[in-house]
């Protein structure tokens, strides 16, 4: 997803600016928090799009509604980031052994 790559690039820029003392640490923390919410939202929207595509092939995921920004903002734990998803898959793989 090219959009997620853009979010990651913005985070790198913010982190570099913070290391160089070019940005207030509280501002950097706020920006990073919003970037995480944006990542969660973008992945949730992508999941919804994938469920629609799967539905076109007869495997519709029931109950997969398009998320609203405020839902992600108010319930971030229900919308995992890419890193959280990878950690969950890793735990599942370790538990299967």
DSSP letter, residue 66: P
Spatial CA neighbour of 39 closest among 12, 74, 1, 65:
1
pTM: 0.78
Q: pLDDT band at 3, cuts 50/70/90?
A: confident
The pLDDT tens digits of the residues spanning 20-63 come to 999 999 999 999 999 999 999 999 998 888 777 666 555 555 56
What is the C-alpha separation between 86 and 43, in angstroms, rounded? 13
Domain ranges of the chain: 2-96
């Amino acid at each position: 997803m090219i959009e997620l790559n853009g979010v990651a690039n913005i985070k790198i820029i913010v982190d570099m600016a913070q290391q160089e003392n070019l940005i207030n640490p509280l501002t950097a923390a706020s920006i990073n928090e919003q970037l995480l919410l944006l990542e969660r939202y973008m992945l949730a929207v992508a999941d919804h799009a994938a469920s629609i595509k799967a539905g076109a092939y007869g495997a519709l995921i029931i109950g997969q509604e398009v998320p609203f920004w405020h839902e992600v903002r108010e319930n971030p734990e229900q919308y995992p980031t890419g890193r959280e998803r990878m950690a969950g898959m890793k735990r599942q793989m370790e538990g299967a052994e």
